[in-house]
Amino acid sequence: MEGKNEVNLNKYVGRRLSQVKVLTRLLETELEQAKGGREVTIDRQVLEQVLDVLEIYVEDCETVTGGQRDRKAQEPQKPTVARLN
């Protein structure tokens, strides 16, 4: 049974790893566009999306491995607003 769980874990992580590979290619493209300069300019929206995907990947991996994120524990809870019609 343990072997089957390892296969499922590998498949799960592998599927999420594809997201990180896409981000790697995106960042490589941004570096190439900088044409060897010391500074790289990247659109804020692109950077925010990169961070979002990385955070989702980390959360998914920690969920599967049973780990907890320190960052979530430190972040204050945002108040929720109920919409009344």
- pLDDT of the chain along its 85 residues, tens only? 456 666 677 787 788 888 888 889 988 988 888 887 888 888 899 889 889 988 888 888 788 777 765 555 555 666 666 666 5
45 part of a folded domain: yes
The number of domains in the chain is 1
Q: Please tell me the pTM assigned to this model.
A: 0.58
Domain range for 50: 2-74
Cα-to-chain-centroid distance, residue 78: 21
79 part of a folded domain: no
82 part of a folded domain: no
81 part of a folded domain: no
The structure tokens listed for 10 are 């590998």
40 part of a folded domain: yes
Nearest Cα to 55, choosing from 71, 78, 44, 43? 71
Is 53 exposed, middle or buried, given 0-12, 13-18 or 19+ CB atoms closer than 10 A?
middle
